[in-house]
């Protein structure tokens, strides 16, 4: 697979995170978005790229196609806690605007907040807990069912007034998995139903990077 055309531009500079979203459309095209160069479509039969638009895809990372509804589902690029749906079928050719949402979005996918406080020495200044999501995935399980997976780190920031200890490395790694079902109502309105969520703790040393 050749790289997209903007890679060959004279002023091109590789930036980590510049490729922000992608999706397979049918068996013939792959859409790929760059933060600085817009969205390109790759024709797998002809092995050629074409410009789809100066916009970026409205989801982050990857969107999964759900054939029962003919839509692609992913986490919103504007809000990682929102699961949305889009029709990408016409986005493989040049369009003036990104695909509009097929659903207003389901806002049930923010990671859990900070947990209980942990004990600290009397000379430690506690600056509170911070949560950072470093990887999110939407997995199609078949039969209109999805799993939304989020990998995140909870860190407690602190400082020591006596310079005898360091709390900056106090981090714990988690994954939270949420079951999702997509259905149509009597009026053919699309509904996203969330089911049970399960959180897994990996401790301080093991950092998961993917979900199978």
**Nearest Cα to Cα of residue 67 among 53, 80, 79, 85:** 85
Residue 34 has pLDDT above 70, yes or no: yes
Spatial distance between the Cα atoms of 169 and 102, rounded to a whole number of angstroms: 43
Fold held by 15-106: Thrombin, subunit H (2.40.10)
- Per-residue model confidence as pLDDT tens digits over 55-106: 999 999 999 999 999 999 999 999 989 999 999 999 999 999 999 999 988 9
Residue 67 backbone zone (phi > 0: left; psi -120 to 50: alpha; other: beta): alpha
> What residue segments make up the domains of the chain, in order of their start?
15-106, 124-203
Which pLDDT value is given to residue 124? 44
What is the rounded CA–CA span in Å between residue 92 and residue 153? 36
DSSP H or E run through 143: none
In the three-class reduction of DSSP (H, G, I as helix; E, B as strand; rest coil), residue 168 is classed as coil
Q: For the chain, what percentages of helix, strand and coil (3-state, to nearest 5) are there? A: 0, 50, 45
pTM of the shown model: 0.82
Structure tokens at 50: 């074409």
For 139, the 3-state DSSP assignment is strand
Q: pLDDT tens-digit profile of 148-195?
A: 999 998 887 655 555 555 555 577 888 999 999 999 988 888 999 999
| Region of residue 63 (left: phi > 0; alpha: psi -120 to 50; beta: else) | beta
CB distance 169 to 158 below 8 Å: no
**Token couple for 128:** 């509170």
pLDDT in tens, 8-19: 888 788 887 789
């Amino acid at each position: 697979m050749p790289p997209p055309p903007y890679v060959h531009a004279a002023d091109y500079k590789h930036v980590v995170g510049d490729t922000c979203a992608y999706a397979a459309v049918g068996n013939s095209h792959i859409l790929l978005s760059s933060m600085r160069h817009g969205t390109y479509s790759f024709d797998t039969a002809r092995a050629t790229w074409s410009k789809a638009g100066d916009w970026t895809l409205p989801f982050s990372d990857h969107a999964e196609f759900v054939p029962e509804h003919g839509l692609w589902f992913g986490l919103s690029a504007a809000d990682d806690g929102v699961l949305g749906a889009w029709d990408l079928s016409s986005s493989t050719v040049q369009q003036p605007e990104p695909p509009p949402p097929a659903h207003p979005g389901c806002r049930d996918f923010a990671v859990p907040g900070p947990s209980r406080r942990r004990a600290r020495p009397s000379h430690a200044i506690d600056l509170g807990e911070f949560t950072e999501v470093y990887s999110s995935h939407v997995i199609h399980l078949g039969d209109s069912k999805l799993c939304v997976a989020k990998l995140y780190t909870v860190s407690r920031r602190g400082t020591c007034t006596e310079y005898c200890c360091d709390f900056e490395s106090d981090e714990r790694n988690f994954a939270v998995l949420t079951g999702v079902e997509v259905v149509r109502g009597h009026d053919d309105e699309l509904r996203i139903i969330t089911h049970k969520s399960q959180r897994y703790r990996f401790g301080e040393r093991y950092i998961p990077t993917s979900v199978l």
